């Protein structure tokens, strides 16, 4: 298995720190609102990476944090007149709902920054003692970037260039810095902000130290894989490396994985452009399995363009998979006992080749686009070779194989049983009664009402059928 390592800029054979085990840290969202579809990409991508490791027999310790203290959270709390904890708790719960709908597996651990302050203070103390950090007059603690000779090794930025660039930027309140590139480990509280006691002042941690501490606590001083969106390479991940390696005296992560950006209709997602979508908004139009399939339709390091047309294409693709799975299930009920026929054995060998194609794609830096293509070849083979006359042995083999590969991608092959809520059920019953009473005006009115709710009715000989718009 080969992984593209951002640090070395090349694909490298994956060799775990501990045989059969993977320690993986993925930077999670800052919880001040519903997650947007840009947040969804790393969630889906790295969940798939985890699933593939598990498919290959690895035990994965998968840690993904929630940043639950941040300027944006504080701003939202002030707007609503509540405390910051109320905001973060609310949106952690909402984020978990969205992740469940996207079939993202729960992490081994979801640490929260506010619950790990003690460990952060200890790490900062260690950095001060080792000469890698210093305390300014106002109690701010800064990391001394010049003390880490390898600063810039992940982002491939030159420290001298960074210094000259930063010198042109005068930032109020940072007069206590020794060097413009030094970054904050601990900052004093402002009026009305949450704060914690520390040896330097009442305040809160900087963003970068949070992940360094949480990764160390739950995965150890050295880990196999650190992952996130490419927007985190600099400064966040660069600063994490500096802090962690200076504090612990060990290589922080052996492999760095970063997914590319998501664009909307070929433009960068932005609220000002009106092309900003939350996962929750998408869920009102599509099963989030569609979003998941769409996110995996390109290799994770390739930029991905979100559009209505591409989502419709993913919707159709998901329907093809599920229709094939439904056909398999139906045929399985009628299939006959006994050994596979000679022809079925040949088809089984063809499926085995496609499994190999799937694994080859995933072994090559998790190329989900080619892996999906292998699944669709299995779908085509299944549709053309499985019937009620097939043997149970053959149908079971194809079905189990396809389900297993889809599960690696987090794709659920079973069609959901649609459940109408009681209000909609009542309306359908009222319409039926109106038709019996020959009150067609009321029946049409109710049909229109249901259409507004996204329910399309179809009157058939067998009775009323419905589907979602």
Check residue 377 and give its pLDDT.
Answer: 98
CB-count exposure of residue 462 (10 Å: 0-12, 13-18, 19+): exposed
- Residue 314 domain flag: yes
H or E element, residue 62: strand 59-64
Q: Which two tokens stand for residue 49?
A: 């990476």
pTM of the entire predicted model: 0.88
Q: What pLDDT is stored for residue 420 in this prediction?
A: 60
Domain annotation covers residue 237:
yes
Residue 235 domain-assigned (yes or no): yes
> Among residues 192, 196, 214, which one has the least CA distance to residue 205?
196
Separation of first and last alpha carbons in the chain: 43
Task: State residue 469's pLDDT score.
Answer: 61
Domain that holds residue 351: 308-408
Instruction: For residues 389 and 429, state if they share a domain.
Output: no
> Within this chain, do residues 111 and 27 fall inside the same structural domain, yes or no?
yes
Domain boundary pick from 367, 383, 408: 408
75 occurs within a structural domain: yes
For 421-442, the pLDDT digits (tens) are 677 888 888 998 988 898 988 9
| Residue 9 belongs to some domain of the structure | yes
- Number of Cβ atoms within 10 Å of the Cβ of 77: 20
Considering its fold, how many domains does the chain have in total?
3
In the structure encoding, which two tokens stand for residue 447, read together? 């049909």
Tokens of 164: 């000259």
- Which 8-state DSSP code applies to residue 179? S
Please count the helices (runs of H) and the strands (runs of E) in the chain: 15, 15
**Of the residues 259, 275, 294, the one at which a domain ends:** 259
Q: Where are the beta strands (DSSP E) in 210-291?
A: 223-229, 253-259, 262-264, 267-268
Give every residue of the chain whose pLDDT is below 50, as ranges: 168-172
In a domain, 199, yes or no: yes
| 205 within 8 A of 113, measured Cβ to Cβ | yes
Lookup: tokens for 394: 């053959």
CATH code assigned at 45: 3.40.50.620
In this structure, is residue 110 part of a structural domain?
yes
pLDDT given for residue 92 in this prediction: 97
Q: Which residues of 132-144 are buried (b: 16+ CB within 10 A; e: fewer)?
A: bbbbbeebbbbbb
pLDDT at position 419, please? Answer: 53
Q: Does residue 435 sit in the same domain as residue 326?
A: no
Query: 338 and 428: one domain?
Result: no
- Pairwise CA distance, residues 37 & 306, whole Å: 9
CA 307 to CA 43: how far, in whole Å? Answer: 19
Same-domain pairing of 31 and 119: yes
| Residue 226 counted as domain residue | yes
| Ramachandran bin of 253, using left for φ above 0, alpha for ψ from -120 to 50, beta for the remaining angles | beta
Query: Which residues have CB under 8 Å from 122's CB, separation 6+?
Result: none
Q: Is 322 exposed, middle or buried (0-12, 13-18, 19+ CB in 10 A)?
A: buried
Backbone angles phi, psi at 328, to 5 degrees: -60, -45
């Amino acid at each position: 298995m080969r992984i593209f390592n951002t640090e070395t800029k090349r694909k490298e054979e994956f060799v775990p720190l501990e045989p059969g085990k993977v320690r993986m840290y993925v930077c999670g969202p800052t919880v001040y609102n519903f997650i947007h579809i840009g947040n969804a990409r790393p969630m889906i991508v790295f969940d798939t990476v985890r699933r593939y490791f598990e498919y290959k027999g690895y035990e994965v310790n998968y840690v993904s944090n929630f940043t639950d203290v941040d300027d944006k959270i504080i701003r939202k709390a002030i707007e609503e007149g509540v405390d910051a904890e109320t905001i973060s708790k609310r949106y952690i719960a909402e984020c978990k709902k969205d992740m469940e709908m996207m079939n993202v597996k729960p992490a081994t651990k979801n640490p929260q920054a506010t619950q790990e302050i003690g460990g952060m203070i200890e790490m900062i103390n260690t950095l001060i003692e080792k000469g890698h950090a210093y305390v300014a007059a106002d109690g701010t603690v800064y990391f001394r970037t010049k003390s880490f000779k390898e600063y810039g090794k992940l982002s491939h930025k030159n420290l001298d260039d960074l210094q000259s660039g930063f010198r042109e930027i005068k930032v109020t309140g940072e007069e206590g810095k020794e060097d413009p590139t030094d970054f904050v480990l601990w900052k004093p509280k402002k009026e009305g902000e949450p704060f914690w006691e520390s040896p330097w002042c009442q305040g809160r941690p900087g963003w970068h130290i949070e992940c360094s501490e949480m990764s160390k606590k739950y995965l150890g001083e050295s880990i196999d894989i650190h992952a996130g969106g490419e927007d985190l390479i600099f400064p966040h991940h660069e600063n994490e490396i500096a802090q962690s390696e200076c504090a612990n005296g060990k290589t922080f992560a052996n492999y760095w994985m970063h997914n590319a950006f998501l664009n909307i209709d070929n433009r960068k997602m932005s609220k000002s452009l009106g092309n900003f979508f939350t996962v929750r908004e998408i869920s009102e139009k599509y099963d989030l399995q569609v979003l998941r399939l769409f996110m995996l339709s390109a290799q994770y390091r390739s930029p991905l363009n979100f559009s209505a047309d591409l989502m419709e294409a993913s919707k159709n693709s998901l329907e093809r998979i599920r229709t094939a799975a439904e056909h398999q299930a139906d045929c399985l009920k009628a299939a006959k006992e006994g050994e596979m026929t000679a022809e079925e054995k040949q088809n089984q060998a063809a499926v085995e080749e496609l499994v190999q194609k799937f694994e080859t794609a995933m072994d090559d830096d998790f190329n989900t686009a080619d892996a999906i293509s292998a699944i669709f070849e299995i779908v085509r083979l299944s549709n053309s070779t499985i019937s009620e006359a097939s043997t149970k042995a053959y149908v079971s083999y194809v079905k189990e194989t396809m389900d297993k590969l889809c599960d690696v991608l987090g794709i659920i092959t079973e069609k959901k049983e649609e459940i109408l809520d009681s209000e909609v059920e009542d309306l359908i019953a009222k319409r039926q009664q109106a038709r019996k009473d020959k009150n067609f005006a009321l029946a049409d009115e109710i049909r229109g009402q249901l259409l507004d709710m996204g329910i399309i009715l179809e009157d058939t000989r067998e009775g009323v059928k419905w589907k979602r718009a």
